[in-house]
Structure 1
Amino acid sequence: MYSVEDQKLAEQLLSHSVELKPGENILLQLIGLNGVGLIRALTRRVREIGAHPFVQIEDAETNRILLENGDEKFWINQAETDQLPLMKQMDAFIGIRAAENIYENSEVPKEANRAYSQKFLNPVHFEERVNNTRWAVLRYPSAAFAMNAKMPTEKFREFYYAACLFDYNKLEEAMKPLEELLRKTDLVQLKGEGTDISFSVKKQNWIPCFGKRNIPDGELFTSPILDSVNGHITYAPSVYQGKPFEFVKLEVEHGVVTNFDSSNNSALEEILDTDEGARRFGEFSFGLNPIISEPMYDILFDEKIYGSNHLTLGNDYEIAPNGNESNIHWDLVCIGADVYLDGELVRKGRKFVKDELKGLNPDSLV
């Protein structure tokens, strides 16, 4: 019916991540049929808790057909008739992304993606779900997922559950000195191969993440002061809107991307031209999960890589705002840059060197 690992993951998601209580409504969404075992484990456990599961199981290829053929009128109707009224009744949400082909939506036209983002994704998820439910989102392991990670299937499954079932309470404690230091920080500088960029985070809010929203988790994020970002940055491989990028390089002046290079410049230009906010940055974060060491073309894992940072193009989060608005939110990851806070070196490459932060290094957490 479902594995022991899925049973453990379901328990962690419901008790730690969304803290589900008796009598509450929770939407369980599965995209891709591969993760049905976890949905079964979640559904059983929700009923044992005494809460009410609302289950959506969606086929990724059918979703692609909807994306390719949807327009603004279609997505407004989908949101207002079905998904938005339902989401407003939810206390919690767990979304499982189990599609086996990460490039499924790679040929969806730009205008179709924009219509979906503006008229469905933003109102239903970014505005309602993110702000008004206790939510968690995760991927589910598969042979295709293992292939992107360049691992044997069974080894990847072991890695997946180790990263997802990590002791987040221990990580929460280890983050506290870094959060305290960052709340006092004005200037952040990243310096590494292909990267020399700086920005202000003065008086910005910092959010520690330890298994409450994304699984696997392990990050500490804020947003940069909007017009303070200057320099250039090189990112690791990424997939966005189904389009693969082996690398992305950006040049930035006063918070705006002024020049760029990548392995897919036509697709990158389309993304940057989505709207005015797409060339600005809505998030900055430290990746802190000690189990995750290399990129695997999946942002829910890649943004948590230890010794990494992501400086995100697009929309900010309401919980840590900087005023940027966009229909995109692209978590691009920079791995192994030296980090300076107000001129002091605190991380050399991927290891923290400041004494009170050494508890975040992998050998202290695992």
Structure 2
Amino acid sequence: MYTSQDAQLAKKILHFSCELEEGQNVLLQLVGLNGVGLLRALVKEAREMNVNPFVQIEDTEIRRMLIENGDKKFWEKQAQTDQLPLMKQMDAFVGIRASQNIYEQADVSKKANKDYSDYFLKPVHLEERVNNTNWVVLRYPSEAFAMNAKMPTEKFREFYYKACLLDYSQLHEAMKPLEERLRKTDIIQLKGEGTDIQFSVKDQNWITCFGKRNIPDGELFSSPILSSVEGHISYAPSVYQGKPFEFVKLEVRDGVVVDFDSSNNDALEEILDTDAGARQFGEFSFGLNPIIKEPMYDILFDEKIYGSNHLTLGKDYEEAPNGNDSSIHWDLVCIGADVYLDGEKIREGRKFVTEDLQGLNPENLV
């Protein structure tokens, strides 16, 4: 039916992450049939809590077909008739991403992706779900996922559950000194191979992420002052809208991307031309999960890599806003750059060097 690890994970998601109470509603969405065991565990746990589960199961090929052939009118109808009214009744949302092929949507056109983002994803998820539910999104292990991580299947499964079932309360405590520093910071600078970029975060809000919204988790984020981002930055491998990028390099002036290079410049240019906000940044974050060491072409893991930062193209989050209302949100990850807060080096490569922040180094968390 489902594994004991799935049962543990279901309890963590519904009790710790979603903080559900008796009588509340939770939407359980499975995209890809691979994760049905975890879905079963979530349904069983929800009913034992006397919580009301609403279940959606989506085949990834059918989703691709809909996105390929959808348009503004279609997605407005989907949102307004079905998904938005349902989401408005939910107290929590759990999204399991269990696709066997991360490149399933690689051939979807720019217009089709934009229509889906603007008229469905944005109103249903980025505006309603993100802002008005206790939500959590996670991947599910598979042979294909293990291949992207360059691990044997069973070793990857062990890694997956270790990262997901981390002691997030301990991690939260270790984050607090960094959060305190960041709330007093004006200028952040990243310096490393192919990277020398700075920006202001003066008076911006900071959010600690410790298993409440993503599984696995471990990040501390805000957003840069829009016009303050200046310099150049190099990112690790990434996949966005089903399109792979072995590397991405951006040149930024007055907060706007003015030049770029990547392994797929045609696709990158399409993404950057989505709207005005797609060439600006809506989030900056520290990756802090001590279990996750290397990129695996999956942003829910890669953005949590310890010793990393992501400076995100596109829309901000309401709890840490900077005015970017783009229809994209692409978490691109920079690994191992030195980090300076108002001129003081706090991280050298991937290790925090000031005494108050050393609790965030992996050897002190696992």
TM class by smaller structure: over 0.9
SS of alignment partner, residue 233 of structure 1: strand
* Cα shift readout 1:8-49 (whole Å, capped 9, x = no counterpart): 000000010001110000000000000000000000000000
What's 1:335 paired with? 335
2: CA distance between counterparts of 1:124 and 1:147? 32
2: CA distance between counterparts of 1:315 and 1:95? 20
2: CA distance between counterparts of 1:345 and 1:88? 45
What's 2:63 paired with? 63
SS of alignment partner, residue 244 of structure 2: strand
CA RMSD of aligned residues (A): 0.3
Q: Tell me, which stretches of 5 or more residues in structure 2 are unaligned?
A: none
Structure 1 residue 40 and structure 2 residue 50: aligned?
no
What's 1:294 paired with? 294
1:223-302 mapped onto 2 (5 Å cutoff)? 223-302=223-302
Structure 1 residue 356 and structure 2 residue 351: aligned?
no
Structure 1 residue 197 and structure 2 residue 211: aligned?
no
2: CA distance between counterparts of 1:287 and 1:92? 25
Q: Tell me, which stretches of 5 or more residues in structure 1 are unaligned?
A: none
What's 1:111 paired with? 111
TM-score after normalising by structure 1: 1.00
1: CA distance between counterparts of 2:210 and 2:181? 18
SS of alignment partner, residue 227 of structure 1: helix
* Cα shift readout 1:73-94 (whole Å, capped 9, x = no counterpart): 0000000110000000000000
Shift of residue 313 of structure 1? 0.1
Shift of residue 325 of structure 1? 1.1
2: CA distance between counterparts of 1:5 and 1:238? 28
1:316-327 mapped onto 2 (5 Å cutoff)? 316-327=316-327
2: CA distance between counterparts of 1:255 and 1:122? 23
TM-score after normalising by structure 2: 1.00
Identity of aligned residues (%): 76
Shift of residue 267 of structure 1? 0.1
Moved over 2 A (4+): none
1: CA distance between counterparts of 2:72 and 2:235? 32
2: CA distance between counterparts of 1:126 and 1:189? 29
Aligned length: 366
Structure 1 residue 2 and structure 2 residue 6: aligned?
no
2: CA distance between counterparts of 1:324 and 1:69? 28
What's 1:121 paired with? 121
1:101-180 mapped onto 2 (5 Å cutoff)? 101-180=101-180
SS of alignment partner, residue 258 of structure 1: strand
What's 1:92 paired with? 92
2: CA distance between counterparts of 1:163 and 1:170? 14
Letter in 2 for 1:267: A
